[in-house]
Chains A and B, each alone.
Chain A
Amino acid sequence: MSVTSTATGTPRHSDGPAPDTPHIVPVRHWGRAVAAVAAVAALAGLIGSLARNGNLHWDVIGHYLFAGLVFDGLATTLWLTAAAMTLGLVLGTLVAVLRLSEDPVLYGLSSLFVWVFRGTPLLVQIIFWGYAGALYKHVMIGIPFTGVTFFQADTNSLLTPSVAALLALGLNEAAYASEIVRAGIQSVDVGQTEAAHSLGMRPALTMRRIVLPQAMRVIIPPLGNETINMLKMTALVSVIAAHDLMSNIQDVYGQNYQVIPMLVVASLWYLALVSLLSLPQTWLERRYGRGTARGAAASPLRRLCGGLLTGTRTRTRKDPAR
């Protein structure tokens, strides 16, 4: 340890020593370096043993990893994730706003919605939507108890497996997203709403322009989690044969009995997609972090390498210019 107090006052950290500042030696974390080497060695051993394991059938994995069937499933999984998240977010935001409204009817209905869709297992909801045709043969829109109908259709032609999957995932997501959005809205200071109102902004405009953009900072990290979760939860819709990645993988191992290799194929793809999904999240967090003193964190790679030996993990900070 070097003595850090100088005649001129506060010491600088590695900005290149000023002429009158003594050279500063940061704390060395030798234990951290040793642990890193050990961890890398252990991982290399594990990968090596997996690579040499004949029971894994690497040839099968290689054959199916880029098969057309797998790509078709991937496409379905991706659009299902995107569509269900969109439905969930739009509906969830609406439900969140309704739950915060003073109108007792709107509050009651939105609470009921959350209670039902959050309180029952997703798997049950998927099966329910998939087999709704057994419950109601026809759907119709009309005036109850009068026999007047405007629209009528056969349930099974309307609720195809894809539509059922989308409804199940989207409605379930809306229930969860609404709670996230509600917490975000409530995290914004009431002074913001009052300031907007005092300028003559109406409640809806205030929500859209002032409150929600600020709530985003609180909403985005858990929503990133929800999206990643959604991507994997789409696998559940294989129970109603919605032709997502998991359904197609199951179809294959139902025939060739290569269960483990096929599951490895699926896992590799899910892992790849989840990794890709983290990118937009970082970007969004930066965008909605505007105006806050603490800027975005450094990239994960830099954090991993930067702090290995010298104590502090690197962090960039937007310094407000005064």
Chain B
Amino acid sequence: MVHAEGVRKHFGRLQVLKGIDLTVERGQVCCLLGPSGSGKSTFLRCVNHLERADGGRLRVDGEPVGYREQGSRLHELREREVAARRRDIGMVFQRFNLFPHLTALENVMEAPVKVTGTARTEARDDALRLLRQVGLADRAGHYPAQLSGGQQQRVAIARALAMKPKLMLFDEPTSALDPELVGDVLDVMRGLAEDGMTMVVVTHEIGFAREVADLAVFMDEGVVVESGDPRRVLVEPEQERTRAFLSKVL
């Protein structure tokens, strides 16, 4: 589903990604770990083209990100085509980014109605079902400011799921939450993984990664240091850098 080969990205003179190789198959859950500033968010944002990679190859579902392939040439996509590609990729942010002027229900309905053109009644039923799935059926009419952080994040997950994505990206979804609220969000994500959703998750929740992930990737300073079975990478890593990081996080 996600194929990265030597993906590079720089901001000004700062080389943030120095050639990332990564493959996530359909139905797999990949957890990205690494110290702050190692480029995890940047890589995730490249996958749905919020950030443009400057080098290497990056494909999602067989298509090059940001381009249309014709023979051996890549044609840069127009605004409309970029937006169309993003429909298939859901993203959940560290700071939720719910739309504050819309209720939980309206947040979830917005994209299906305005982007896909789904009928309101149908979108409403779908949205209510998704809110039930994340355990918030009784909060449909609340504005984000009236919800706790954990509830907001679960609405954000429902909002991303409303577009029926093939791939879900999570950027530290529980880092802004109080410890007792983390569990609810992780439960929802675990449920998604069990339903076979392909997921790339940036997280510091080692327990979650060990239990749910099919693939653990440890990044540092813009390169993948170590990757593979989480029970190996996160329990008895081969690389010294991974070991040092894990001893600090655990």
Query: Which residues of A are at the interface with B, using a C-beta cutoff of 8 A?
Result: 189, 191-192, 194-203, 205, 209-210, 213-214, 288, 290-293, 320-322
Contact = CB atoms under 8 A, between A and B. Distances in A.
Contacts of A290: 101, 143
Interface residues of B, dominant DSSP: mixed
B79 to A, nearest CB: 6
A201 B101 contact: no
Contact of B93 (A195, A205, A321): A195
A320 B104 CA distance: 14
Given A198-B89, A200-B111, 4 more contacts: A195-B91, A195-B97, A199-B163, A200-B163
B95 interface: yes
B80 A202 contact: yes
Nearest to A213: B101
Given A199-B163, A200-B83, A291 B143 contact: yes
Given A198-B86, A200-B84, A292 B145 contact: yes
Contacts, number: 79
Contact of B146 (A194, A203, A214, A322): A322
B89 to A, nearest CB: 7
B148 A199 contact: no
A291 B147 CA distance: 11
A288 B101 contact: yes
Among A194, A199, A203, A205, the one with the most B-chain Cβ atoms within 10 Å of its Cβ is: A199
A288 B102 CA distance: 11
Contacts of B148: 322
A198 B160 contact: yes
A55 to B, nearest CB: 55
9 contacts: A189-B97, A195-B99, A195-B156, A198-B90, A198-B160, A199-B163, A214-B99, A291-B101, A291-B102
A27 B202 CA distance: 55
Contact of B110 (A199, A214, A320): A199
B164 to A, nearest CB: 11
Contacts of A322: 146, 148
A205 B100 contact: no
Interface in B188-238: none
Nearest to B107: A195
B87 interface: yes
A203 B115 CA distance: 12
Nearest to B100: A291
Contacts of A199: 86-87, 110-111, 115, 159-160, 163
A194 B110 contact: no
Contact of B100 (A196, A202, A214): A214
B165 to A, nearest CB: 9
A292 B99 CA distance: 11
A320 B115 contact: no
B93 A191 contact: yes
Interface in B71-126: 79-80, 83-84, 86-87, 89-91, 93, 95, 97-103, 110-111, 114-116
Per CB-CB distance, the 3 closest pairs between chain A and chain B, nearest first, are A200-B87, A291-B143, A195-B97
Nearest to A200: B87
A214 B145 CA distance: 14
B86 to A, nearest CB: 5
Given A195-B93, A199-B86, A291-B143, A205 B115 contact: yes
Contact of B101 (A195, A200, A214, A320): A214
Nearest to A190: B97
A322 B116 CA distance: 32
B99 A210 contact: yes
Contacts of B160: 198-199
Nearest to B85: A200
Nearest to A290: B101
Nearest to B169: A198
B145 A200 contact: no
B144 interface: yes
A51 B59 CA distance: 83
B48 interface: yes
A219 B200 CA distance: 39
Contacts of A192: 97, 99
Among B80, B83, B145, B146, the one with the most A-chain Cβ atoms within 10 Å of its Cβ is: B83
Among A205, A288, A291, the one with the most B-chain Cβ atoms within 10 Å of its Cβ is: A291
Contacts of A201: 83, 111, 114-115
A205 B84 CA distance: 13
A194 B163 contact: no
Contact of A194 (B97, B102, B103, B143): B97
Contacts of A291: 100-103, 143-145
Contacts of A195: 91, 93, 97-99, 156
A195 B111 CA distance: 11
B150 to A, nearest CB: 12
A214 B98 CA distance: 12
B101 A202 contact: no
Contact of B145 (A197, A288, A293): A293
A209 B101 CA distance: 10
A197 B90 CA distance: 10
B87 A292 contact: no
